[in-house]
Structure 1
């Protein structure tokens, strides 16, 4: 039977789990410290935190005291199965005074000899994040005060879990994006190159990308694309699409053919993502660009002796929505000596409360057949919104005189 507690003990419990110094710990240390305090305050033998893996729908043992093997063994259980799964499914506290083999599916609990269990869901804004449970080796009836304390700890775990999840997602996405965006553009005979990328989201990560590569034939591949959304999910799709296009570029002599293969790949493996891409192949003599665009904005071409203009290429549907009976198209565009081709994503020309044609006109008026780095600097400072809400990628290619 759980003993009654007085007001002083309630205050001690409250202070122990709301201690401001806990906020200075990193997430893993915070979870361990909270479990240590729970074991002490409730006089229990075990305490464990299982966080929900949203992709698999399973609860994964993340931190434990007295059940450390649970974490080392990578224990996971589906929502609705076993004790932790029952707590998660019910989204309310569950008390078991006499644990039976039918109540648990984790063999570690059985081997440990747990007699009584108390578990509460870890919730954040109505979303299930996991389960916190404690256990004793002797029979015990957990009281309402025990439940309230464990729910208070679960609230603290929920806040820490969100921070942990956000940090992991951001770190993974940043690492992925940095590995995929060229750290340095290649040195390519016959052309000068420059690029810019600015995220438009607080996470600092998104789905815009650009790529430049020399093919075995001597042709130069120039790519720019945009996967809708922000964060890890968009960065992962961007990485897959970029890698696939590189592979198709090696076996296709026509940008439209490469984008057709990429379209099939996106329809099958990335269904539901809105992805645009522009692929240009520049001839070994650098006097011709063959361009195909899948839902992407037309590039700007500036010649040495005239005003810049949007390249007259047809814009086919984005990747993943093309009908088999509607082939993608490529257009051959001459490149005069000194001409500059500017590719960009829509974040450069879109502004709130303004039609995109206005942004395109502003951009075209800024582009000159000048040094690519200077052109990128100009359009980023004068064409892009001062407070962008979308990612911006720019890639400039200039044929040498």
Structure 2
């Protein structure tokens, strides 16, 4: 049974971490409000929060009281190194009875005169969010109740940080996605375009994109792609690939060569990233298209008085990881007047519990020689209907206008 003093301390901590006023504050203010209360709640002299940065695999000093220099000097601690790094790596509370060069890597801690420390991990669903630690300028015996109380505060901070960061990341990615998808599709003589983009119902916004752009020589470039993964990291890679593809398209007429250079760039600078990409160029007369596929599903072609079909274009390996060697393939496709092309990402044709071939067959049967806007509406109504997709969907439809 906890002592009356311990029970009173637990009550004070519970009141602090459940204060409804915290819900109205932004993340920095929530952290600051709780950190300033911790020393009084646990009868210690310092408290600090270090948030985990996934990109660098480091803990970054974000807020402190009694140890503000950690924040002012921008202290970064690699996970697994030093006191806080050890707490993050083992994901368990750690008590330190001696603070010196042999036990911590941050000289501020012993220069400030801290004698003993307690650190707890900040976790949400087992995912590391950061580390909360406290210190005392005198020898202080941390009890099991102290550990439990500090963990309560750490859990509250972890949840606040996780929710706010996830919300901010989704907003940033949504803005990024909207800025990279064309606001207006070009309308060159003889060609029409329409597109749809829908984020998946149970994922964050991902790395799907489409693009249509004019090239020298009255040519039109069409690109569609899907970066593996979701979240801001996938969105950033998507933006970089889109920009790089446009740049290479200006210098190289052959879509296969554009894809080769895109793969080389991604394999070198975007290590760990992978994407499927389709890139096509329609010439000035609009009667033919050159197409290269990097792991991406083939477009659907529907032309008047012809059976609708998936284009016979064998895909090369996806972009990234240096999977392709040598030249990438390119096929030439005739586009008779009135021909419709449907480019798409796999979220349109993949459904849980259904075969991919069935989805592709349904798409093939749905695309008809009609206006791009009408084709988009018909495809989305037939393949998506009243059931939201699990994955992101990008659909781009082009038509060579009838003579």
| TM-score normalised per structure 1 | 0.89
Q: Is the CA contact 2:118–2:133 (under 8 Å) kept in the aligned structure 1?
A: yes
Tell me the distance in 1 between the aligned counterparts of 2:154 and 2:218.
Answer: 60
Tell me the distance in 1 between the aligned counterparts of 2:234 and 2:303.
Answer: 35
Residue in structure 1 matched with residue 193 of structure 2 by the alignment: 193
Q: In the TM superposition, what is the alpha-carbon distance from 1:5 to its structure 2 partner? A: 1.9
Tell me the distance in 2 between the aligned counterparts of 1:176 and 1:270.
Answer: 18
1:24–1:305 Cα change, 3 Å: same
Q: In the TM superposition, what is the alpha-carbon distance from 1:75 to its structure 2 partner? A: 1.0
Residue in structure 1 matched with residue 319 of structure 2 by the alignment: 319
Q: In the TM superposition, what is the alpha-carbon distance from 1:27 to its structure 2 partner? A: 2.3
1:138–1:317 Cα change, 3 Å: closer
Residue in structure 2 matched with residue 18 of structure 1 by the alignment: 18
1:163–1:314 Cα change, 3 Å: same
Q: In the TM superposition, what is the alpha-carbon distance from 1:261 to its structure 2 partner? A: 1.9
Confirm whether residue 105 of structure 1 aligns to residue 105 of structure 2: yes
Residue in structure 2 matched with residue 158 of structure 1 by the alignment: 158
Q: In the TM superposition, what is the alpha-carbon distance from 1:226 to its structure 2 partner? A: 1.6
Confirm whether residue 265 of structure 1 aligns to residue 265 of structure 2: yes
Confirm whether residue 393 of structure 1 aligns to residue 394 of structure 2: yes
1:363–1:84 Cα change, 3 Å: closer
Q: In the TM superposition, what is the alpha-carbon distance from 1:323 to its structure 2 partner? A: 4.2
After TM superposition, the structure 1 = structure 2 runs for residues 132-281 of structure 1, keeping only pairs within 5 Å, are 132-281=132-281
Aligned pairs, number:
398
1:80–1:206 Cα change, 3 Å: closer
1:318–1:11 Cα change, 3 Å: closer
Q: Provide the secondary structure at the position in 2 that maps to 1:207.
A: strand
Q: In the TM superposition, what is the alpha-carbon distance from 1:81 to its structure 2 partner? A: 3.6
1:335–1:98 Cα change, 3 Å: closer
1:69–1:184 Cα change, 3 Å: farther
Tell me the distance in 1 between the aligned counterparts of 2:314 and 2:332.
Answer: 11
| RMSD (Å), alpha carbons | 2.7
Q: Is the CA contact 2:208–2:394 (under 8 Å) kept in the aligned structure 1?
A: yes
Q: Is the CA contact 1:335–1:399 (under 8 Å) kept in the aligned structure 2?
A: yes
Q: Provide the secondary structure at the position in 1 that maps to 2:189.
A: coil
Q: Is the CA contact 2:192–2:400 (under 8 Å) kept in the aligned structure 1?
A: yes
Q: In the TM superposition, what is the alpha-carbon distance from 1:398 to its structure 2 partner? A: 1.4
Mean alpha-carbon deviation: is it higher for 356-365 or for 149-158? 356-365
> Per-residue displacement from partner, 1:367-401 (whole Å, max 9, x unpaired)?
22222111111111112362211211111111233
Tell me the distance in 2 between the aligned counterparts of 1:298 and 1:90.
Answer: 47
1:323–1:151 Cα change, 3 Å: closer
1:106–1:163 Cα change, 3 Å: same
Q: In the TM superposition, what is the alpha-carbon distance from 1:20 to its structure 2 partner? A: 4.5
Q: Is the CA contact 2:99–2:109 (under 8 Å) kept in the aligned structure 1?
A: no
> Per-residue displacement from partner, 1:308-358 (whole Å, max 9, x unpaired)?
322333333333465425x42222222222322221112222233332232
Tell me the distance in 2 between the aligned counterparts of 1:363 and 1:257.
Answer: 29
Residue in structure 2 matched with residue 310 of structure 1 by the alignment: 310
Tell me the distance in 1 between the aligned counterparts of 2:28 and 2:294.
Answer: 45
Q: Is the CA contact 1:347–1:384 (under 8 Å) kept in the aligned structure 2?
A: no
1:96–1:334 Cα change, 3 Å: closer
Residue in structure 1 matched with residue 36 of structure 2 by the alignment: 36
Tell me the distance in 1 between the aligned counterparts of 2:222 and 2:331.
Answer: 14
Tell me the distance in 1 between the aligned counterparts of 2:330 and 2:99.
Answer: 69
1:300–1:98 Cα change, 3 Å: closer
| TM-score normalised per structure 2 | 0.88
Q: In the TM superposition, what is the alpha-carbon distance from 1:201 to its structure 2 partner? A: 4.1
Q: In the TM superposition, what is the alpha-carbon distance from 1:234 to its structure 2 partner? A: 2.1
Q: Provide the secondary structure at the position in 2 that maps to 1:278.
A: strand
Residue in structure 1 matched with residue 114 of structure 2 by the alignment: 114
Tell me the distance in 2 between the aligned counterparts of 1:88 and 1:344.
Answer: 42
Q: Is the CA contact 2:276–2:296 (under 8 Å) kept in the aligned structure 1?
A: yes
Q: Is the CA contact 2:201–2:390 (under 8 Å) kept in the aligned structure 1?
A: yes
> Per-residue displacement from partner, 1:57-94 (whole Å, max 9, x unpaired)?
32110122233332232211123444323433454434
- In structure 1, stretches of 5+ residues that fail to align are none
